[in-house]
Amino acid sequence: MRNVGRIHFLPDALKAFADADQALPIACNQTISQPYVVAYMTNQLLLEKEFSVLEIGTGSGFQTAILSRLVRKVFSIEIIPQLATEAKSRLLNLGYSNIRFKTGDGYFGWDKYAPFNAIIVTACAELVPPSLLAQLRNGGRMIIPIGKTDGHQQLQLISKSISGSIQVQALLPVRFVPFRRL
């Protein structure tokens, strides 16, 4: 995380808070997660260099950049066109070259490149989208905040066994922006 530099992913007015362990606002009424949560979620995926990872919610691109340094390929979907355009430009200008970008509804994942070794969702959904479960490779892991956006949210780790059975583990309470749909 030190090698990525959160400062590159913040609005100018908030760059002084880059090292603060707190969520901060970005464009379009969205947020960049606190570094602890970014590190925690990333760590829970048990990533390996040869993995391909699906990220739902590119946002400013901070989590995307971290994933990019750890795995072979990152596929990132952002529903808000302005954020998608800005993050893609930012990440390309910073030299990240193993990321594919898509502007669209992350609920449906990215079937063209499935299955994924890991999936990370950076917005709170009320339920796990079935399409994401279907695109998770057997033996893969997904991390996603689940709950009501105006109430209790729980970070959940979903593991898919080699045979395809699903195990869900509640990890910790969190507060994320809502999972948006088209």
State the catalytic residues. Answer: 33
Q: Crossing angle for the helix pair 81-93 and 62-70, nearest 10 degrees?
A: 50
Is 153:177 a contact under the CB 8 Å cutoff? no
Residue 170's H or E segment, with its range, is strand 166-173
Is 18:47 a contact under the CB 8 Å cutoff? no
Please report, for the chain, how many H helices and E strands are present, in that order: 4, 9
Q: Which two tokens stand for residue 74?
A: 């990152």
Is 53:73 a contact under the CB 8 Å cutoff? yes
Q: What are the DSSP E strand ranges found in 92-161?
A: 99-103, 116-121, 136-147, 153-160
Is 74:47 a contact under the CB 8 Å cutoff? no
